[in-house]
Structure 1
Amino acid sequence: MLQSAPSPQVWTGKPIVLVGLMGVGKSTVGRRLATRLGVPFVDADHEIETAAGMTVGEIFEKFGEPYFRDGERRVIARLIDGSPRVVATGGGAFINDETRALILGQAIAIWLDAPIHVLADRVRRRDTRPLLRDKDPFVVLKDLAAVRNPIYAQAPIHIPSDQAPHESAVAAILRALEL
């Protein structure tokens, strides 16, 4: 007998913001979580690209990371306006003090976390990430994790996301939200 997908619930709370290193599944988990909660899903990087008329990589290359982070903060502030939704952020968004304060003050921050070897395997499949250009993903991610994980740990909800299907991370988030 086929199991049907769980029916969506309707989330009426604060925006839910997913944070964590690149490759952890923020966008994929975010889309599925939004569907389960019956709310819109928004990818902050996509919104930044739309607003700028160029890719994240092009913004980094043309204007540098500080310029990108400032635009990212403004876009995230617009996305967490109090409306129920799920927002996937770029890996560095939560590291910015102002952006992190916005997220922690106006949303529910959820840290998706996975072992470095899993993340490195996932990000090797795409070459769209500016911080990985011409570098070993394992080394870059290990260095980023050393700096960023203590900051991601400020998110009130921590969800391990290993090699299990993304649906297991969604289920863990729903449990953490007590749904």
Structure 2
Amino acid sequence: MSQSVFLVGLMGAGKTTVGRLLAKRLQARFVDSDHEVAAVTGVNIPTIFDIEGEAGFRRRESETIQRFSQEGNIVMATGGGAVLDPDNRQCLRNRGTVVYLSASPETLYERTRRDSGRPLLQVKDRLTRLRELHQQRDPFYREVAHIIIEVGRTSASQVVRQILAALASDART
């Protein structure tokens, strides 16, 4: 495979877990944009949010997406908000196959409820926040995606099989 695959979706959808497995199956390099931002800055994502705010983090995220999306033969898990930037959406869509890992806010809540490393979920009512984020971002995920996979209670290996089947039947060149 020389074409890259970019995974988009809300936090908790499984982009990193699925991405690692998918990269292994495709014999591609795996890149997690959040991890790359943290590696470059030397601090974790919550610290970046504390120091630079969400805008500073989004700028760094865009730089990371621009850089790695040019490489080819990668599977990249993007941050949940990467699609908010129209330049990111265009970059991802034009440089590879975009797969939206779609999950309900309720499923995402179950997957993230004990995770303290999610700056946007440091609120009293996480489920309401996830519903708001889903309502805001779902149209962007759908706009940028070439493939949409409903993840729900599906295992990561099942999701990878669905993605591989979709990639195999994808007629785009």
Q: CA RMSD of the aligned region, Å? A: 1.1
Shift of 1:118: 1.0
Shift of 1:125: 2.2
Counterpart amino acid of 1:141? L
Whichever structure has more helix as a proportion of its residues is 2
Indicate yes or no: 2:64 matched with 1:75: yes
Partner of residue 96, structure 1:
85
**Structure 1: which 5+ residue stretches go unaligned?**
1-10
Counterpart amino acid of 1:73? S
Q: Given that residues 69 and 92 in structure 2 are in contact (C-alpha distance below 8 angstroms), is that contact kept between their aligned partners in structure 1?
A: yes
Q: In structure 1, how many angstroms separate the alpha carbons of the residues matched to 2:148 and 2:120?
A: 24
Partner of residue 5, structure 1:
none
Counterpart amino acid of 2:88? T
**Structure 2: which 5+ residue stretches go unaligned?**
none
Cα deviation 1:111-159 (Å, max 9, x = unaligned): 0001211110100121100001133221111001111001100111101
Q: In structure 1, how many angstroms separate the alpha carbons of the residues matched to 2:104 and 2:132?
A: 13
Counterpart amino acid of 1:172? Q
1:169 to 146, 151, 159: 159
1:130 to 114, 119, 123: 119
Larger Rg: 1
Q: Given that residues 7 and 100 in structure 2 are in contact (C-alpha distance below 8 angstroms), is that contact kept between their aligned partners in structure 1?
A: yes
Shift of 1:82: 3.8
Shift of 1:51: 0.7
Indicate yes or no: 2:164 matched with 1:157: no
TM-score by length of 2: 0.93
TM-score by length of 1: 0.90
Aligned pair count reads 168
Shift of 1:64: 0.8
Partner of residue 4, structure 1:
none
Q: Given that residues 77 and 102 in structure 1 are in contact (C-alpha distance below 8 angstroms), is that contact kept between their aligned partners in structure 2?
A: yes
Counterpart amino acid of 2:147? I
Indicate yes or no: 2:26 matched with 1:37: yes
1:145 to 113, 134, 145: 134
